[in-house]
Structures are given as C-alpha cells and as structure tokens.
Structure 1
Amino acid sequence: MSISLSSLILLPIWINMSQIQQGGPDEKEKTTALKDLLSRIDLDELMKKDEPPLDFPDTLEGFEYAFNEKGQLRHIKTGEPFVFNYREDLHRWNQKRYEALGEIITKYVYDLLEKDCNLKKIFIPVDATESEPKSFIFMSEDALTNPQKLMVLIHGSGVVRAGQWARKLIINEDLDSGTQIPFIKRAMDEGYGVIVLNPNENCIEVEKPKTHVQSSSDSSDEPVEKRERKDKVFKETKKRRDFYEKYRNPQREKEMMQLYIRENGSPEEHTVYVWDHFIAKSAAENVFFVAHSYGGLAFVELMIQREADVKSKVTAVALTDSVHNVWHQEAGKTIREWMRENCCNWVSSSEPLDTSVESMLPDCPRVSAATLQHAEKRIPLGEEPPSIDPFFEGFNLLWFPPAFGGSPMPSDSCMLYFVQSLSLLPVGGLTDCQSKNPQCSIYF
C-alpha cells in the first residue's frame, strides 16, 4: 500500500485535530485554527509533488510513435495505438503528456498541409512588423486567382489548429478522420481554390516576467537600525514566499502570459479579417464554406458584420454540428432567410445520413450526420471510410445544376438545400434525390 507525500504532510495535522478536540476552550480555538489551515491547503497542488518531471519529448520519434501507411498513430516498437493512461493514478501528468503529443501533431499537420497538399503558409496580419505576434493561414496557389470557385474551411474551438477537425480523432483513429486533408485534396482535384483558416491561433504565449522585489537595503538614506529591521522582515517574507512556491509549483512550471494577435484575437475576429484581406479580394465568383462547430458561429458573425458582401460572393455553406444561435447572435431576418436557402447543418443524430432533423430555430435546415459523436461531425459519416461525397455533390449541383445540363441529382445523398437555393423545385416539392432514394425523408 503506497502513501502519497501529500497524505504524509496532512497526517500530523489530522492527528493533532483529533487529540485537541477532546479538550477545553483553548483546544477548540486551536482546532478552529487548524481547520482554517487545512482549508487553505490546495490538495491538487500538493499532489503535484508526487508527479514525475513534466519533461516530454518534442518529436514523435521521442514519444516512440509514428503514423503508419494508413495514417494511424502507432507505437514504433509494439504497433499498439496511443495509450493515454501511461502512468496509473497520475491523471494530470498523463494529460500533460497528451497535450505535449498534441502540439507535435499540430506541427506535423502543418507540415502535411505544405508538403502533401502544396498549400502556402500566409502570415497575418498582412502588415505585421517583425517583432509583433503573428498568426497564419494556408491557401492554395490559385486561392485568390481561381475565377470560378473557392472553398474555405473553418474548424471548431479548442486545441485544434489549421488543417484539423479533431485532435482526438487524429490520435485515436487516423489522419483522414481527424484532419481536413481529404477535403483539401478533393477540392483541389475538382478545381477549387482552397483557404484554410486558423481561428484558434489568437495569441502567442511568452514567459511572464518575474517581478523584482526591491530590498529595503537599497534605501541608503534610512538609519542603520531601521534598514536592518526591514531586511529581516524582507528575508522572512521571501522565505515564506519561496516555501509556498515550492508547494504551489513543485514542477517549476513556467508562468506564462498571452500576447494577442492584432485583429485576430478571437475566432470571430480572425474570420472577418481573413474575409476582408483574402476571401473578399479573391477572383472566385462562387465561394463555398465548410464550418465545424464554433466555426459555424464564426461564419454567422461574419454574415452579421459583412452581410451584403457575403451574400454577393458566397454560394453555399455546409455546417457540421454548428453551435451558432441566430437569436443570441442577433442575426437579422434577411440573414436568417439567406441561411435557410444557402446553408445546411449536419447534426448529431442516430437517424440515417441526411434525414431531416427538427430545429427550434428559424435558420438553416438540419440533417442527420448519422453519428452521435460531435467530433466526427466534420463530415457526414454514413459509411466506412467516412464519405465526403455529400458536400461535393451538393456544391457541384450549384456549379453544374441539372436544370442547366449538369450531372443528375446524386441518389446517395440528399442535398436539397443546394437545390432549393437555385429554386429548381418549388417549396413543398419532393426532391429528385428522394424519388431515387426512398430512405431519404427530407422535404423543402
């Protein structure tokens, strides 16, 4: 049976409390004082003293992991998937290890975007000085010059960065499941320009400067005795502070502070900035958005701030488990009407893929993503491997609609909202998709 160091520290206090609780008023006062002391002790912080050092590798090889030919993260020696509970009963340490691996994977995905997808990294703000904090996005060579169509990808909130849908899926499933790379490659193959936003890269972290406590000895004008008394108090205070710091931060973790990136301090700011400086200036007549989770909220905020511009340039928006709320965001009637005609939101549901899901909000149609897992909503999941056909079939309907001699309505996916936006069918009509696929129950 193992006893943690924190338990050993608290044991004498508990023993003393049990002993003095039997005494008179003086002992009760001591009990009160000891209880007050215990209330000030942060057990979580004390538990840090039992941790191994938070010293983790900075490469996948250092972690002894690598991505195999299927894009799965596997241990180099055993071939096993990633194990979170590397050390039992050390959840905080395991979490820190997971986060360290996640940072390496973020850089790995950045590298894939440049080398495997041939995207360019573009630093922002565009007029940033050499010394100020910067973020970046990725775009294809023809993102600003493609005269026909441009696809914009926006991920959700949290630790994910450009090129990712879900870190959890990258680590536990594979790169195709957790990254935007399949979307990017498919889009480029079909002639789209591509811009990949990076809405969570809002600041840089730097070590917090240590505050300098001036010693009283620096005051040479004071009498010697007064300086000596001040020095004694200063040393005792420093000793107590150092003792507290030893328990507050036993791992000697660096105190960090955040420096926000100009005009990109939030996902909403970032989305508007990229619109103003890149998307709005692109040559594409048709812009298509794919936005996951908080990315949907960021898009709605973009609409609120740039309504006329967005309406004139954006053709369709595919949302996946978007957390936007047209009421809380105070989206006007004209925005809600535009969203009903040009957007669709795949949401958590056990219903078959593309089955209509009721919504209490008067915005875009909601359809089933055929999964209950939020992280998997980056694409409609109705089969294995995950299919991204529904998005592109819908986008292509807008580009080459059947009414103008294009390809026929896809039978395996119901992209009614794209058809509706073209007014190919009257409201209340039955989609051609449904007539070919009886399982599809979506109506206008």
Structure 2
Amino acid sequence: MYRRVIRKPPPPVFPTDLAGFGYTLNDKSRLVDAEGKEYTFNLKAKNRDYEEAHGRALCDVVVQIMVKRMEEEFGLVRKIVPLGFSPEDTTLPHAHILLTPDYNECKRLLVLSPGTMESLGSWSRRLVCNYSAEDGSMFAVVKMAIDQGFGVVILNSNAQYWVNGQTTYMTPTNPRGIVLVPELESPEKHVSYVLKNIIQPAASREIFFIGHKYGCHSLMQALNEQFNELKDRVSAIAMIESTASINKEFSKDFRKWWSSNAVDYTQSEAEEAADKGEVEYNTHRGCNCVRMGMGEFDQTILVAMPFILRFFKSRLNRDNVFDHYKELVFPPVKDDPTTVLITFDADELEDDDSEPAFDENLDPSWG
C-alpha cells in the first residue's frame, strides 16, 4: 500500500526593493503605485497566506528604507549584540540594535521597545504600509527625540533566530536546526541584556522609555530585575497598548516606583470612544492609563505620541532619585498622567473599607 505524498509548494520569492513591488513612497511617506494609488491590503484575497506573505515582504522593504534614512539623516549606527563580536565575523549568531553615537554620554536617553513580530526600527508593519512609513516605523519618534537633544537606543527584541547567516524575527518554519542568538533567546532576555550592558553603563541620569504591546512586558521584567541599578535614573515610561501585568510577586517598592513613573496609553472601548484623554488607574497594569479613543488596529501609536511627548516634557530635569520622592504625594501636574489620580496598592485596601482620596473637582481630561 502506498501513501500519496503531498508536496507543499516552495515559499514564494519576493522582490528586495520597492521598484520590484511596483510601489514608491510619496512625499507623505505613503506607499503608492505607478498611478498614485495608495497600497491597501486585500482582505478578500483568495490566497490569504500569499497575500500576507507579500504584504510582510513589502513592509520589510519599506522598514529597511526607513532604517537607512535614520542612519543617513540622524547618524544612527548599528551595534552588535551580544557585545564582543567582531563586525567581520558573520558566522556566529548575533543581532544588531540601533543607537545614536552619543548614547553613552548624552544627558537624556530615549529607549524604544517594539512589540512582537516587528523588525528593527518598526512599530507596526500595518501602519508602515497602510498609513505612513515615517509614523509606522520609528523614524518620526527618533526625529522628534533628536530635535529635542535626546540620545536614542532602538531595541531589536524579536531578532532571536539565526537562519542562513542572519537574524530573523520570523519563527523558522523548519524546527530542525534552529539556532538562537546567545543571551538574546527571547524578547525578555534581549531587553534585559541591552539594559544591563548598554543602558546601565551609559552616563545618562534621565532615561525615558517607550514600549509597544509585548515590548512593555519585556521592559517591565527587565526593569524589575535591574531595579536597584536603574530606579534612580528613569524619568518616565510610556507604554502603548501594554500587555505588561504587575502582581504581588513584584516588591512593594517596585510597584510604587512603577505607578509613579509608568503610563499606559490604550484604546478605548466602543462605548467609551468619546473619552479620549481620560485617565484611570488600572490594577493589572499597576499604573495610570490614558484612553486614546477608538481607531483602527495599531493607530493608538499615532494618537498617543503627542500625549507621550508632553508627558516626557513634564519630566525633564526631574530629580529621579526614588528615595527623594518615594513618600511624596504630588499635586496634579498638567501633562503628567501619573498625578491625575492618587494611585494605590490593592494590598493596602484589603483591610480598609475607606475610599481612596480623590479630588472630585479635578478635570481628568488631557486632550
């Protein structure tokens, strides 16, 4: 008896430049074809797998273009991680992060932590292709940061697989012979490694973070692990649609510190679409959250950025030594959502039936 072997078709091969795809970037950094029509993902495609692979390959090309622009226009450079690898040795598994040349000595440092399934320099492939290459990549944020005198470090937490002599953020389809980049085997390990070996030795005493989705979780884990080393140097932590969750396993000091410095910018529920800018405390996030209204997938990134920049501005030149503000209760500060509500530790309420103190006359709008 013979069993019929079903042979899978070979994976499609896509162009490596925009011209091969038949697209260009217009003056608004939007993908357009030869007739000026903007790119849209075909949701009704019969071969959905092919369409998704095509869109992913196209977006990867666009992100590579934006990374090259960041290198050329802002002077960003690639740094090999783990440290100690020779740039000439391409045989050993390694990855790259992007940073400004002054990252080690700048006064203020901005660290960017992407979500899962995003390549180096990208916030959202969907935004890159469907909205704007500058905003969907990290180009726009880096430009604003450099204009304000920040040094920048861009994490590459999804580059954990080593395939055919290079890293990939995509899980290899063939599990045999999978090689992981040492010390960077997961997003959590990548973020922890970079914070310990790149951020800690840097001179900055004003470190700012922006994380997206799972990048926030990895960031929280790393900051918890390195709490004693970094607690007196962090100015602000801005999260967008965070998946991070805090619990009793974290020390009380860390939870207090986290609620004093972290803010999550999150999409509103449908019935709350009009509440853009409203602030509320989220027990799972362990910090105040700002509602960003309704929008399409990942558009919270676009809506949140002006809020985040104002938050960061309110934290410039702050005394970041935790012991100096640990027991203080701050009055509401415009553009600083951590001061809108008095956050509290749920443990402290277990034996206390009283309501937390709250100024009912306080306007929670930050629009």
Give yes or no for TM over 0.5: yes
- What amino acid sits opposite 1:297 in the alignment? H
* Alpha-carbon shift at residue 270 of structure 1 (Å): 0.8
* Alpha-carbon shift at residue 292 of structure 1 (Å): 0.8
Distance 1:62 1:322, change over 3 A: same
Conserved? CA contact 2:196–2:226, under 8 Å: no
State how far apart, in whole Å, the 1-side matches of 2:44 and 2:341 are: 54
Give the 3-state SS of the residue equivalent to 1:163 in structure 2: coil
Equivalent residue number for residue 237 of structure 1: none
- What amino acid sits opposite 2:98 in the alignment? F
State how far apart, in whole Å, the 1-side matches of 2:143 and 2:291 are: 25
Give the 3-state SS of the residue equivalent to 1:361 in structure 2: coil
State how far apart, in whole Å, the 2-side matches of 1:410 and 1:68 are: 43
Equivalent residue number for residue 66 of structure 2: 109
Give the 3-state SS of the residue equivalent to 1:108 in structure 2: helix
State how far apart, in whole Å, the 1-side matches of 2:190 and 2:274 are: 35
Distance 1:362 1:185, change over 3 A: closer
* Alpha-carbon shift at residue 91 of structure 1 (Å): 2.0
Match of 1:149 among 88, 93, 108: 108
* Alpha-carbon shift at residue 41 of structure 1 (Å): 8.0
Equivalent residue number for residue 216 of structure 2: 296
Which deviates further from its counterpart, 257-266 or 77-86? 77-86
Distance 1:87 1:327, change over 3 A: closer
Where does the alignment leave 5 or more consecutive residues of structure 1 unmatched?
1-32, 208-252, 382-387, 402-408, 422-426
Q: Hey, which of these two has a bigger chunk of helix by percent?
A: 1
Alignment of 1:324-343 (within 5 A): 324-327=244-247, 330-343=249-262
- What amino acid sits opposite 1:154 in the alignment? S
Deviations 1:277-308 (A, max 9, x none): 11111111110111110111011111221111
Equivalent residue number for residue 100 of structure 2: 140
Deviations 1:360-401 (A, max 9, x none): 4271111112234451232435xxxxxx33222222222257
Which deviates further from its counterpart, 168-177 or 62-71? 168-177
Q: Structure 2-normalised TM-score?
A: 0.79
- What amino acid sits opposite 2:254 in the alignment? I
Give the 3-state SS of the residue equivalent to 1:380 in structure 2: helix
* Alpha-carbon shift at residue 255 of structure 1 (Å): 8.5
Root-mean-square deviation (CA, aligned residues, Å) is 3.4
Equivalent residue number for residue 348 of structure 1: 267
State how far apart, in whole Å, the 2-side matches of 1:359 and 1:109 are: 35
Equivalent residue number for residue 393 of structure 1: 310
Match of 1:287 among 207, 222, 228: 207
Conserved? CA contact 1:414–1:440, under 8 Å: no
Distance 1:429 1:194, change over 3 A: farther
Conserved? CA contact 1:271–1:302, under 8 Å: yes
Where does the alignment leave 5 or more consecutive residues of structure 2 unmatched?
166-172, 319-330, 343-356
* Alpha-carbon shift at residue 265 of structure 1 (Å): 1.2
Identity of aligned residues (%): 22
User: What is the total number of aligned residue pairs between the two structures?
Assistant: 328
Distance 1:418 1:285, change over 3 A: farther
Are positions 1:258 and 2:178 aligned together?
yes
- What amino acid sits opposite 2:196 in the alignment? D
